[in-house]
Copies of this chain bind each other. A is one copy, B any other.
Amino acid sequence: MEPTPQHVAAYFALMEAGALLQQLVEQQLRRDGDLSYIQFRVLAQLAEAPEQSLRMTDLADGVVYSRSGLTYQADRLEQGGLIARSPSPDDERSVTVTMTEAGREALERVLPGHIDLVAKELFGPLKEPDVTAMADVLTRVRDHLRTVPRGPATRRRPAAN
C-alpha cells in the first residue's frame, strides 16, 4: 500500500494545521481569559446545557477525558469561581457542575477574539467553496475517527478482562 504524494501531503497538512491552529487558539484563550482550551470547551458545553449544568461524567464524555483529568480541571475552574459543584438531586453519586455568572462572563470575554482569530487565521486564506469542501471532508473523517477505539481516555470498559 504505497501512499501517493497527495495522501502524504494531506496527512501532513492535517497534522500540522491542526497543531498550529490549536497553539494559536490556546494562546488567544490564555491571553484574553486565562483559560486553557479544555477549560474553554467545558464552559462552552455548560453554556449550551439546560440550566448551564451537566454531570461530571457527561462533561468527561464530551471533552474526551479521563475521570481524574476532568476532576483536575474542575478543581481549577472551581478555584477560579467559573463553575460550582453540587450534589445531584436524582443520583447521590453524581456531582452536578454548574457554570457561574463569572464563568459566563469569562466565556463571553473570550469569544469575540476567538471568532476573530478563526475567521482570520483559518478562513482567511480560503474562499467559500473551500470552506464547504473542508467541512464536508473533515466531518466525515472526524465521524469515522470517533468510532475508532482510542487509548485510556475512551476506554470506559476495558475490552477483555
Contact = CB atoms under 8 A, between A and B. Distances in A.
Contacts of A75: none
Nearest to A150: B23
Contact of A133 (B4, B14, B21, B133): B133
A141 interface: yes
Interface residues of A, number: 53
A140 B116 contact: no
A94 interface: no
29 contacts: A1-B116, A3-B115, A7-B118, A7-B135, A10-B122, A10-B123, A10-B131, A11-B118, A13-B141, A14-B21, A14-B134, A15-B18, A15-B21, A15-B25, A16-B142, A16-B146, A17-B141, A20-B142, A20-B146, A20-B148, A23-B151, A24-B145, A122-B145, A125-B143, A125-B144, A126-B140, A133-B133, A133-B137, A134-B134
A121 B144 contact: yes
A7 B138 contact: no
**A interface SS class:** helix
Nearest to A20: B145
A10 to B, nearest CB: 4
Contact of A141 (B125, B141, B148, B151): B125
A49 interface: no
Interface centre among A7, A15, A137 (most CB of B within 10 A): A137
Contact of A23 (B22, B138, B140, B153): B153
A17 to B, nearest CB: 4
Contacts of A148: 20, 24, 121
